[in-house]
Amino acid sequence: MTVLSPEHSLDPEQRAAGDVTHFWRVPRHRGLECLRATFRRHAYARHSHETYAIAAVLSGCETFFYRGEQHYAGPGTVAVVCPDEIHDGEPYGGGFEYRTFYPSVELIREIAEEVAGRPLANPPWFPHAVMHDPELARAHAQLHACLCHDEVRISELEQDARLVAYLAQLIARWANLDAPAPLRYGTRGIARVRDYLESHLASEADLASLAAMAGLSRSHFIRAFQRETGLTPHAYLLDRRFRAARRLLERGEAPGEVAAACGFFDQSHLNRVFKARMGITPGAYRAA
């Protein structure tokens, strides 16, 4: 496990705003990512992840838009965002402190099948964005501290046992194990545009060409695309570039090379987009 000390993980702009971030990864659990943060001013842009995002707020309140509604998470709650679902996040009031896990679909599915005692047709789906469950929130915070080595001399065996127990409890209490696979952007024309954008991340997109590809006028295309994906075409392209950059940074590629490969104007552009969606800089993410 690689742990970034606060001195290395803090961004000067975040520090000046009273924001603190600490990010690390636990590779043996399918690359489990962990974020410890205090945000007083930072606001996440709308984006999606290939993983689940599971958070517990220790103090203050976070508000986030998800599944067409504004949600509020405070102490004693656990918030879950499912893979590929659009969301944002920002402080409500004076700020908030939280602990977040980003477990892969494979990890959550493995634990869910152990809970169910049978294979599952689809990964678990969480119908609620925010669950009031103080016991689970305490277990979440304790596990997070354990994996961060805040608790000294916790063996890997004990860490693993706590992680499996926590995720099993979360799934048993709050997940729907038999939900059908979510429908993804069913309109054929919009699907064509999505496929094109994802296969041409490094290219600039032309609105008129995208609309023609979808068989729609430009104004109709923008409305239809946002209705089906939750994002404008430009925001969707940035989201996919962010996700591609995240994968390349995980492999250890340099931020400058990642910026060029994923269609960002330069490394500064990558920094802005990445930090607005991950809460940390590309350099800090790569270092973990």
* Percentage of the chain exceeding pLDDT 70: 91
CATH architecture of the domain covering 2-174: Sandwich (2.60)
Domains of the chain, by residue range, sit at 2-174, 188-287
- Highest average pLDDT, of 1-5, 70-74, 178-182, comes from 70-74
Average pLDDT on 219-228 reads 95
Q: Nearest 5 degrees, angle CA 123-CA 138-CA 76?
A: 85
Q: Kindly report the average pLDDT of the chain as a whole number.
A: 91
Residue 219 is encoded by which pair of tokens?
Answer: 């104004």
Q: How far is CA 206 from CA 210, 222, 249, 267, in A?
A: 6, 12, 28, 23
What is the value of pTM for the model shown?
0.91
Q: How far does the chain reach from its first CA to its final CA, in angstroms?
A: 8
Residue 79 has pLDDT above 90, yes or no: yes
Confidence of residue 10 (pLDDT cuts 50, 70, 90): very low
- Residue burial 66-88, b: 16+ Cβ < 10 Å; e: rest: beeeebebbbbbbbbbbbebbbb
Domain 188-287: CATH superfamily is: Homeodomain-like (1.10.10.60)
Residue 258 has pLDDT above 60, yes or no: yes
Residue 277 has pLDDT above 80, yes or no: yes
